[in-house]
């Protein structure tokens, strides 16, 4: 790389072997395949699916990442045009049936585990985050309509969304509300025929308008005329860009418009829209779920989206990590820079943090699967507690890792990383939104410290601690086991301290507590993978170099990254008054 004319961004390669290892060792896909409805979802099926999705990610999505960033989404007179190639790429994605991977077969889906769908989504996001945001939001809407939609709504809308013929969005916040959904002002007035007339403005609507599919189905939060104040007074409504007849033919344009798109730091090819409903007083919508039940329906979408957003952090970190390794191997400065200890430290940090975040998100997704599919109600409830506990950690830690690793990728590239032609600056710009949307990471921390730690009397955290303790007691590596025993002791102290804090103290310590939890859980899951890798190596299974790398990554994380997470105990012990400004 003698000059700028020689700069080329490394190609993305889906980490199938790594994904398969985590699906087996962490998500226990073989165990999931023993549950009703998941019988075909074994490791062989997963490997075949990931091989096919890798081809789509590498050959179709990834080549459009740079060009899409440069061209960006364009708005004119209410119409949004996506960059060249995006329409064709989306059509390839839809034609492959990828949106229906985890949807119920009754609606045209394949009914496969969410965790396998997440692994596919990781590949597509790493290849092209801006384009992948379209299906990510649509997947959340599928979950909401499956859980809360009427039979008629499912028949008319859901099957066409699952097929990819139509896309879908979430319309939550408004200019005056931000994250305070209790301040929403959009209204829904009964029309007397079972429909409603929706009016209001929504902001930050990802893929709210585009030209890659024939119709867009918006799920919109609004208030009925008799709605109580606050978040308990919101309801969810389905608003279709075009009003379909009973056969699904798109007969008439609805009174909904995109009035502008945002000019952003990153994800330039993903249109972030301001949507205006009922400007002419004629926006037709239909209630989804119960009146004033929008909060429950919203969280169905939101929790699904939060896990997938954590996955975005993993994906963009993986892409940046690959680029950094490729550059370090070929860049010569006093020899190849990959031989310099500080560069190796950065690369190992990138690898360890990415693998820890991936393990947490995959475990979270698998817990959702168990919570849906386990035959025993008590076991389902236990898995739901685990999924709920992990969701804010997945979202916050995964997206923080995305920012950390993309920033390190810029650093590994040195001055060339600050130049757009290398591509790593785009990764950094794209990653920065993820800690903000779907509930900022501070909100995730408050959710963990409040509802998730205290709401069930501490049951979910106690179960997690017990599971970690039982497993690490059986580890063969003494150093690994001792390190995690100490970490688990600090986690217990931290949880006890958080429950003892008043509201101000809990708020001040919430983010440090989430970081400590993520470090302990990440260390546990990397240690599990190392123990499994060493068992396989001893029995002559697998690629010995790859298995040895698992041990190296685990030991690096436990010795160099986990202590940083555990240091948060000092902040957790401090009173809220320390935050006086």
Concatenating the DSSP letter of every residue in 465-526 gives HHHHHHHHTT-S-HHHHHHHHHHHHHHHHHHHHHHHS-HHHHHHHHHHHHHHHHHHHHHHHH
* Residue 413, number of CB atoms within 10 A of its CB: 24
Cα–Cα distance for residue pair 400/428, rounded to 1 Å = 11
Concatenating the DSSP letter of every residue in 244-278 gives E-TT--EEEE-SEEEEEE---SS-TTS-EEEEEE-
Chain Cα centroid distance, residue 434: 8
Cα–Cα distance for residue pair 157/565, rounded to 1 Å = 45
Cα–Cα distance for residue pair 227/234, rounded to 1 Å = 7
Residue 332, both tokens:
């010569």
Select from 119, 109, 107 the least CA-distant residue to 26: 119
Quickly tell me which residue has 């690793």 as its tokens. 405
Burial of 153 (0-12, 13-18, 19+ CB in 10 A): middle
Q: Which residue in the list 122, 209, 438, 534 is annotated as catalytic?
A: 438
Cα–Cα distance for residue pair 340/533, rounded to 1 Å = 28
Residue 28, both tokens:
């226990």
Contact 322, 10 (CB under 8 A): yes
Contact 75, 272 (CB under 8 A): no
Residue 245, both tokens:
């007849």
SS3 content of the chain, % helix, strand, coil (to 5): 60, 10, 25
Quickly tell me which residue has 């990415």 as its tokens. 354
Cα–Cα distance for residue pair 259/276, rounded to 1 Å = 7
Cα–Cα distance for residue pair 234/342, rounded to 1 Å = 52
Alpha helix stretches (DSSP H) within 211-331:
294-330
Alpha helix stretches (DSSP H) within 26-148:
29-32, 43-56, 65-71, 86-95, 114-127, 129-148
Select from 27, 146, 11, 21 the least CA-distant residue to 536: 21
Cβ neighbors of 351 (< 8 A, separation 6 or more) are: 321, 553
Cα–Cα distance for residue pair 276/296, rounded to 1 Å = 24
* Residue 427, number of CB atoms within 10 A of its CB: 30
Cβ neighbors of 517 (< 8 A, separation 6 or more) are: 393, 448, 491, 494
Q: Let me know if 438 is a catalytic residue.
A: yes
Cα–Cα distance for residue pair 137/534, rounded to 1 Å = 39
Which residues are catalytic, by number? Answer: 438
């Amino acid at each position: 790389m003698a000059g700028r004319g020689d700069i080329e961004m490394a190609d993305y390669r889906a980490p199938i072997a790594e994904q398969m290892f985590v699906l087996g060792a962490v998500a226990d896909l073989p165990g999931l395949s023993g549950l009703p409805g998941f019988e075909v979802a074994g490791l062989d099926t997963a490997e075949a699916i990931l091989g096919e999705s890798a081809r789509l990610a590498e050959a179709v999505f990834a080549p459009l990442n740079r060009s899409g960033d440069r061209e960006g989404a364009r708005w004119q007179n209410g119409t949004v045009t996506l960059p060249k190639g995006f329409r064709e790429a989306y059509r390839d994605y839809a034609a492959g049936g990828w949106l229906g991977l985890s949807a119920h077969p009754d609606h045209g889906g394949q009914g496969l585990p969410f965790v396998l769908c997440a692994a596919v989504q990781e590949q597509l996001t790493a290849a092209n985050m801006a384009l992948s945001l379209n299906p990510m939001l649509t997947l959340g809407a599928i979950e909401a309509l499956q859980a809360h939609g009427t039979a008629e709504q499912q028949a008319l809308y859901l099957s066409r969304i699952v097929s990819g013929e139509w896309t879908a969005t979430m319309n939550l916040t408004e200019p005056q509300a931000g994250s305070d959904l209790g301040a929403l002002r959009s209204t829904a007035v009964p029309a007397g025929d079972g429909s409603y007339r929706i009016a209001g403005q929504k902001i930050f609507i990802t893929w709210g308008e585009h030209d890659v599919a024939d119709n867009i189905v918006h799920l919109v939060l609004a208030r009925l005329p008799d709605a109580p104040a606050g978040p308990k007074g919101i309801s969810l409504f389905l608003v279709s860009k075009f009003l379909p007849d009973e056969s699904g033919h798109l007969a008439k344009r609805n009174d909904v418009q995109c009035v502008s798109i945002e000019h952003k730091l990153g994800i330039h090819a993903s249109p972030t829209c301001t949507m205006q409903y009922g400007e002419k007083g004629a926006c037709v919508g239909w209630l989804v779920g119960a009146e004033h039940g929008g909060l429950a329906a919203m969280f169905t979408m939101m929790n699904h989206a939060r896990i997938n957003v954590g996955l975005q952090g993993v994906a963009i970190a993986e892409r940046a990590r690959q680029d950094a390794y490729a550059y370090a191997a070929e860049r010569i400065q006093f020899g190849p820079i990959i031989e310099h200890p500080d560069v190796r430290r950065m690369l190992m940090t990138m690898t360890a943090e990415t693998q820890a975040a991936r393990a947490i998100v995959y475990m979270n997704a698998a817990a959702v699967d168990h919570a849906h599919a386990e035959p025993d109600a008590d076991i389902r409830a236990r898995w739901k507690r685990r999924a709920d506990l992990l969701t804010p950690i997945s979202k916050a830690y995964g997206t923080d890792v995305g920012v950390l690793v993309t920033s390190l990728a810029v650093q590994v590239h040195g001055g060339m990383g600050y130049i757009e032609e290398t591509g790593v600056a785009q990764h950094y710009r794209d990653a920065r939104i993820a800690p903000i949307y779907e509930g900022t990471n501070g909100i995730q921390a408050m959710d963990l410290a409040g509802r998730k730690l205290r709401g069930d009397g501490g049951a979910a955290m106690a179960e997690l601690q017990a599971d970690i303790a039982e497993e690490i007691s059986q580890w063969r590596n003494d150093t690994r086991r001792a390190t995690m025993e100490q970490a688990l002791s600090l986690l217990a102290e931290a949880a006890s301290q958080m429950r003892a804090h008043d509201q101000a103290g809990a708020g001040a310590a919430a983010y440090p507590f989430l970081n400590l939890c993520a470090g302990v859980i990440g260390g546990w899951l990397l240690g599990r993978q190392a123990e499994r890798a060493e068992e396989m190596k001893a029995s002559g299974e697998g690629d010995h170099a790859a298995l040895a790398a698992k041990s190296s990554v685990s030991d690096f994380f436990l010795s160099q990254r986990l202590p940083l997470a555990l240091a948060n105990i000092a902040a957790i012990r401090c009173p809220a008054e320390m935050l006086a400004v």
